[in-house]
Amino acid sequence: MKTRSDMRGWQIKRRERTRQLIELGGLVVKAELVELTDDDRALLYGAFLWMADKLRSDQGDHAAALWKRRGKRAFEAEALPDSGPSAIFVAAGAGMLGGAMNALAGGGTFATLPALIALGLPANIANATSNVALLPGAGTSAWAYRNELGPVAGISVRPLAALTFVFGLVGSLLLVLTPTETFDILIPWLLLFAFAVTAFGKRAADWLHARVTIGRPTLLAAQVLLGIYGGYFGGGVGLITTALYGLLANIRPRELFAIRTTMLAVANLAAAFIFIGFAMVWWWACVPMLLGSIAGGWFGALIGKRLSHRAVRVWTLLLTGFTTIIFFVRAYGA
């Protein structure tokens, strides 16, 4: 009995080993190494030995992390659902809504990101795809407001845009290189801050300006943080920009349309370079969402020019409050 049991255990282990080798061989075929090397076994073996030497070297940890990250993205891409008419319609509709929201008060990501996740995209791919899709809409809105651009608290648009672009690159690289779980916990608190400053910003600004002189360094430092946030996640960055500018520069939301949409477009542009370069954009969803965001951004800008200060304030408060609740539930809910 003992011999038979040992034999059975050996057979099970052998089958598991055989299945493992078949799966590994499948990965070699899937990576197209057989075709690329013309099935040259010496070439393949040499490549594997080079990988082994690389993993044993001082750069082994870096190489392993890089290869693992690329492999995970490839697996995620293979698991994504096929596009269909209904999915394209949802993506386009979410893009239109997101573009209009960005033009009015910001927060377009809260329309596009949930839609992409609902369509089956992984969260990091959805975030990158949303960013690229909203870029033309943000650019369209910025162009529509171009005649209203002016200095913020004595600082011209160019240094603010330069800071936003550079640190938008930094933020997007952080998204590529690090997990988003920690930032998911911070997002609702940032939005709560945006809501509080939007709701009480005028009183807080009057109180603050009566006691403290807010100079260029403070506003520039805030712009650095906005650039990093915009490149890393971007959700609610328009709302937070409205809140921070209102607090630091005592500017009303309606007067921030031009500068806010411009900075949003700059941050999206910086992040788009990184996300496209790292192949994090799923184009079948991005293209219809992109087209929708262009239309939404243009119409949102036209509507925004006709809205009163009170209407913009109410819209901003409602949107900020709603999104804050959603993200608190998302981060801390059951």
Per-residue tens of pLDDT for the chain, all 334 residues:
556 666 666 777 777 777 777 777 777 777 778 788 888 888 888 888 888 888 888 888 888 888 887 787 777 666 555 567 888 899 999 998 888 877 776 667 777 887 887 788 877 788 889 989 988 877 777 787 777 777 776 778 888 889 999 999 999 998 887 665 665 677 678 778 767 766 775 666 666 666 555 667 777 888 898 899 888 877 667 667 776 776 666 666 666 777 777 888 898 899 999 999 988 898 989 999 999 988 887 887 777 767 776 776 677 678 778 877 877 887 777 5
Distances (CA, A) of 246 to 30, 209, 242: 54, 12, 6
Separation of CA 91 from chain center: 16
Dihedrals φ, ψ of 332, to 5°?
A: -120, -5
Would you say the pTM of this structure is higher than 0.75? no
- For 39, the 3-state DSSP assignment is coil
CB 318 within 8 A of CB 239: no
> Which residue from 254, 274, 183, 256 is spatially nearest to 225, judged by alpha carbons?
183
**What value, to the nearest 5°, has the Cα angle with vertex 161 and ends 219 and 238?**
70
The pLDDT value given to residue 107: 67
The pLDDT value given to residue 91: 92
CB 204 within 8 A of CB 308: no
